[in-house]
Amino acid sequence: MEDRYRKTLQRNRTNLVRDLDPSKLYDGLLEKGVFTQDMIDEIKSSGTRREQASQLVRDLETRGRRAFPLFLECLQEAGQHSLAELLQNEAPAAQLQPATPTQVVRPVVHPLPVSSPMDVDKQNKDHVPVYPKQIHSTTPTPSPERENMRPRPQGRTRRDSIQTYKMDSSPCGHCLIINNVEFAPQSELSNRKGSNIDCDKLEHRFKALNFIVEVKTNLKQRQIKHELSALSKKDHSQYDCCVVIMLSHGTEVSHNRFPGAVFGVDGQYVPVQHITNYLNGQHCPSLQGKPKLFFIQACGGDEKDHGFEVSPDEVEPSIGGADDQTDAIPTSSSSDSLSTSDELDARASLPTPSDILVSYSTFPGYVSWRDTQSGSWYVEILDRILEENVATDDLVTMLMMVNNEVSQNSAKGLYKQMPGSFNFLRKLLYFQSQSSS
């Protein structure tokens, strides 16, 4: 949205929150492509009429250049003429004219296959092919500024039914790394030798992926929360993605969505679920519809995995030695590998955690191994996989490669480790690579 329109909304926020009736606008905002269905569902769930109005105005500021005039149209169509006139008087350049067919992507009401995306592909057969849009009854139609018909680079697997996230902004987005190495004596947590090696690798890697990287070292619990809050309050509207990397001791805690917790150097922990909440669609509107990635190098508990025997042709030579340490802390609350309350999140749509991926260095409940000389297994392999495959493979595919390689390692010739992820991404994610930039 243009800055002048955003300021107009901000100056009139009090009047809008007081008088706006959001319920009369939802259909129009959806039809005109200003909001997606997920965003509208999230606004509806924010509370009272005033709270919905406040959330609607905040979200509106994050939308594209046509969001303001289309909002004025919706006000007029809903009979809220006084508010429309109030905004129109301050922004006379905003014309109340319907967008041309080429400017508005209208939602598909019925979940039946349509031929228009394929027709577009045929019409552009002399140009670079594009991914057709995926049509599902439960998938919201993205607004115009979120639509990404990315050319398919050579060598990538054809996945015509899945879109890709827009990842071509420069810089691509912010990357926050929190590296906790030296813990207070009263915390009864050991220092994490080798973590600085992990931090250096990931800082270099995400800078190479065109991210703005910020490293924070040895933070207490309240400082971790402060940095995450500051990140959520940044304006991400010009960026395509956001990354948070946590390098610390960890433990298992009760949860209803994302398991595990990460310790501050004072011995107080922050649940992973709370970490992700700072950047979800509700608390960080400028990241709505954009991928939020969390990489957690910390233990999920104190249970060591002894592995199980497999046939020789399934096992590659393992690495690991006497210097291997764990980031384990005794479990703070008992639970199964997944909380039974997870079923509370089984809804037709998941607007709050959408576009979030949390990659764990180890399966919930188990320790994560770190070599004091070369860093953690997970980070070492993650860094190498990104370097070797970023130009051709999407993130989820690369994380599967990481899972496979880490699972082949063995600490002290005995203990194993199995990384994994909780994936709420809706599209394929391809990082920028130096060869493609």
Alpha-helix runs per DSSP H in 141-220: 195-208
**CA nearest to 372, candidates 327, 311, 309:** 327
Written in H, E and C, the secondary structure of 135-149 is CCCCCCCCCHHHCCC
361 to 27, 339, 386, 399: CA distances (angstroms): 43, 19, 15, 10
Look up residue 239 and give its two tokens: 């960026």
Gap between the Cα atoms of 407 and 210, Å rounded: 29
Contact 375, 348 (CB under 8 A): no
Q: Which of 174, 249, 255, 284 is catalytic?
A: 249
299 is catalytic: yes
305 to 130, 260, 370: CA distances (angstroms): 44, 17, 14
74 is catalytic: no
Bridge partners of 295, per DSSP, are: 245, 359
Contact 27, 70 (CB under 8 A): no
- Residues whose CB is less than 8 angstroms from the CB of residue 26 and which lie 6 or more positions away in sequence, other chains included: 35, 40, 43, 44
Q: C-alpha 346: how far from its chain's center?
A: 19
Q: Which of 74, 172, 199, 299 is catalytic?
A: 299
Is residue 171 reached through a cis peptide bond, with omega within 30 degrees of 0 on the bond before it?
yes
Gap between the Cα atoms of 164 and 225, Å rounded: 31
Contact 233, 287 (CB under 8 A): no
- Residues whose CB is less than 8 angstroms from the CB of residue 395 and which lie 6 or more positions away in sequence, other chains included: 293, 357, 425, 428, 429, 430, 431
The amino acid sitting at 37 is: Q
Question: Active-site residues: which are they?
Answer: 249, 299
